[in-house]
Amino acid sequence: MSLGKDILVVGGGGYIGSHTCLDLANRGFRPIVYDNFSNGHREFVKWGPLEEGDIRDRARLDEVFAKYRPAAVVHFAALIEVGQSVKDPISFFENNVAGSLSLLAAAKAADCRRLVFSSTCATYGDPEETPMRESHRQVPINPYGRSKLIVEEMLRELDRYEGFRSVSLRYFNAAGADPEGRIGERHDPETHAIPLAIDAALGRRAGFSVFGDDYDTRDGSCVRDFVHVMDLADAHSRAVQYLIDGGDSIALNLGTGQGTTVKELLSTVRRISGRDFRVEQAPRRAGDAPALVADNAMALKVLGWTPRHDLNSIVSTAWNWHARSNVE
């Protein structure tokens, strides 16, 4: 069956969504951005049409599906701040779960049964093995992770009973920016380690806090798997093509398979920026795992995906983006 090149990117004005639109356009697709801009940015919509709307608005979704008849959907729209999910679980379930249900119903009604879902390693909960495989138990420890797992479960049921095929991509720590500096990471409030460290190096904040120095790791600080946003975008585009080509539903980890400690990350930011900044030691945060590292072998096997950017590239592209940005 011949399919069109229009891809509906829900939440395409956000960080990973906008980079995925860039990658899709480079591959000859036309990304149709659907976003309510509660977290996304209008100026990040550069590679295709914009349709403003909320994923909880079924009538609006029906209009957009009827207008474009997309070949597939890439679903990024979600509240993502873990700490906020603990304070306000209802908002996370309303947006992330009810909103996803609305989107899935609209896609099914339009007979668009191919969806790439932006999931997370937070669906696993506390790691029982490192690196973590896709077969790891899924026991989330916060409402954010739980909301993403519920959507994965909905997709599994739709595959089983409706022939609705999906790829759930479980990211580890997204980082970096478009190497050409056209788009990058911008959150309010910012909670991600690399932008926080760069802001400290730029003098935009007083310093950087390291939460915990007594973990069972090589320097006592947490270990995380930082993966470049353009590598994530590459994986989404590959997943779209995989579904268009008739691939079966699957969940895949996206990470480099290499762990970086928080202290190693700070050293890299200092080296690349050429600037020193104040670092404060703080107590452990509740819910922080000692190490989160992906086993990415399945993504290579299924999608032919392998990350191309190392930590130096991640921090360099992020530094170039933030240093040029006037956002403080």
- Is 144 annotated in the active site? yes
User: How long, in residues, is the chain?
Assistant: 328
Find the catalytic residue in 144, 171, 215, 242: 144
Secondary structure (H, E, C), the chain: CCCCCEEEEECCCCHHHHHHHHHHHHCCCEEEEEECCCCCCHHHCCCCCEEECCCCCHHHHHHHHHHHCCCEEEECCCCCCHHHHHHCHHHHHHHHHHHHHHHHHHHHHCCCCEEEEEEEHHHCCCCCCCCECCCCCCCCCCHHHHHHHHHHHHHHHHHHHHCCEEEEEEECEEECCCCCCCCCCCCCCCCCHHHHHHHHHCCCCCCEEEECCCCCCCCCCCEECEEEHHHHHHHHHHHHHHHHCCCCCEEEEECCCCCEEHHHHHHHHHHHHCCCCCEEEECCCCCCCCEECECCHHHHHHHCCCCCCCHHHHHHHHHHHHHHCCCC
Output Rg (C-alpha) for the chain, integer angstroms.
Answer: 19
Q: Residue 300 and residue 245: Cα distance in Å, rounded?
A: 17
Give catalytic residues, as residue numbers. Answer: 144
